[in-house]
Amino acid sequence: MGIKVTKMQGCGNDFVIMEYEEYLKGIDEKKWEDIPQAAKKLCDRNFGIGADGLIIPNKNVKDSDIGWFFYNSDGSTAQMCGNGMRCFAKYAFDKNLVNKKEFTVKTLAGNITPKVCDDGTVKVNMSKPILEPEKIPFIPNNNINYKISVKDRIFEGTAISMGNPHFIIFIKDDEDLLKLAKEYGPYIETAAEFPEKTNVEFVKIRSYQKTELRVWERGCGITLACGTGACASVVAGVLNGYIENSVDVHLLGGTVHVDWFGSKDNTNFNVFLTGPAEYVFEAELA
């Protein structure tokens, strides 16, 4: 009997979801050494299923309705993933791992609350943005409008954590966002200012209610979407006075909606992320 897995995607950000019992079966049959190694094998786009991350539901939690184990495609752990959370929420509800449409999920970033909506989208309460440099973590004291030097360029950006670190750079001219992300993302990800590395977002403002985003994701590289990155970019945009509080964020793989009603004077507001979560296929691995 094979190992049962489900592949899902949110705006092209794709994930393999495998329940823990199936993982244990994989240990017996495939001799995988550990979960990070399983993540590498399953997420490999040439020799595995192919995905940006591996999600394993954790049904043994006390202070939340359910939890998860989340691994990037390189086997590293991530505190949070907005697109992954939407897919996980839909999966958990559809598979009767939870018995309500709005519930709490225990993550390394704390308890997160998703809601499976009647229109098929999922709305996630992403909690409050983290702006204290030591908690991001980000070594410099100034996390807004900080200038970072990489290769032949100096970029000005904002450091924010949505449970995982982000550095958001607003591009005001006609430069290619994807090209910038590919060329400079790897260097900023591993810059000394970020002791736990960082996700890197390049953003163009299209209007007060619309932005365009390309992301170099920590532990994954270029991805079609990043939910926490979309949230962090909206917070940064509001703090810099570029956008309003309710914004459509256009990514390579689709569009998500972000609401944050905070301001420079009062950041004590939760961020809400709304977007699609869709099944790609269910399979049984030999």
Tokens of 172: 């005001």
pLDDT of 28 reads: 55
pLDDT of 50 reads: 96
pLDDT of 34 reads: 80
pLDDT of 196 reads: 96
Q: Report the distance separating Cα 198 and Cα 227, nearest Å.
A: 14
Kindly report the pTM of this predicted structure.
0.92
pLDDT of 124 reads: 98
- CATH of region 133-269, choose from 1.10.287.70, 3.30.70.660, 3.20.20.120, 3.10.310.10: 3.10.310.10
Strand 53-58 relative to strand 13-17, pairing: parallel
Condensed to tens digits (0 to 9), the pLDDT of residues 159-212 reads 999 999 999 999 987 899 999 999 999 999 999 999 999 999 999 999 999 999
Cβ count within 10 A of residue 246: 14
Q: Which of the residues are catalytic?
A: 81, 226
Same fold across 3-127+277-285 and 133-269: yes
Domain boundaries in the chain? 3-127+277-285, 133-269
Q: Report the distance separating Cα 20 and Cα 265, nearest Å.
A: 44
pLDDT of 213 reads: 97
pLDDT less than 70: residues of the chain: 1, 26-33
**At 268, which amino acid appears?**
N
**At 58, which amino acid appears?**
N
Q: Report the distance separating Cα 167 and Cα 66, nearest Å.
A: 30
Condensed to tens digits (0 to 9), the pLDDT of residues 18-31 reads 988 887 776 555 55
Q: The dihedral of CA 247, 243, 135, 216: what is its sign?
A: positive
Which of 54, 72, 46, 65 shows the shortest CA–CA distance to 16?
54
H/E element, 207 = strand 199-207
Q: Report the distance separating Cα 261 and Cα 246, nearest Å.
A: 8
For residues 235 and 129, is the Cβ–Cβ distance under 8 A? yes
- In the CATH scheme, what is the homologous superfamily, with its name and number, of domain 3-127+277-285? Diaminopimelate Epimerase; Chain A, domain 1 (3.10.310.10)
Q: Cα torsion for 132, 264, 224, 77, to the nearest 10°?
A: 20
pLDDT of 35 reads: 85
Q: Report the distance separating Cα 112 and Cα 109, nearest Å.
A: 8
Only one residue has tokens 């950006």, namely 157
Cβ count within 10 A of residue 48: 17
For residues 171 and 236, is the Cβ–Cβ distance under 8 A? no
